Amino acid sequence: KKQATNYQNIMIIAVYMILYSILRFSLEFIRIDDTPLFLNLRWPQIISILLIIISFITLIFYPHAKKNI
């Protein structure tokens, strides 16, 4: 039962990180301050993209890793 709870917590955190990062990425287009750009994106947007990728990898590969244990 503890493994099931741990698995659910990790999935909830991954989904939350994806949704939060999408919101953060979108809100950065509205901001007015001078944030440095890289590849025509602001740094918080780049970090949001990285978090989305990491969270998707977690959602895809964590269930498979759990079956192998």
Measured CA to CA, the distance from residue 48 to residue 36 in angstroms comes to: 15
Would you say residue 22 has pLDDT above 80?
yes
Q: What is the per-residue pLDDT for 13?
A: 87
Cα-atom radius of gyration of the chain, to the nearest Å? 16
Is pTM beyond 0.95? Reply is no
Q: What is the per-residue pLDDT for 59?
A: 85
Q: What is the per-residue pLDDT for 53?
A: 93
Measured CA to CA, the distance from residue 59 to residue 10 in angstroms comes to: 9
pLDDT digits (tens, 9 = 90+) for 31-48: 877 777 788 888 888 889
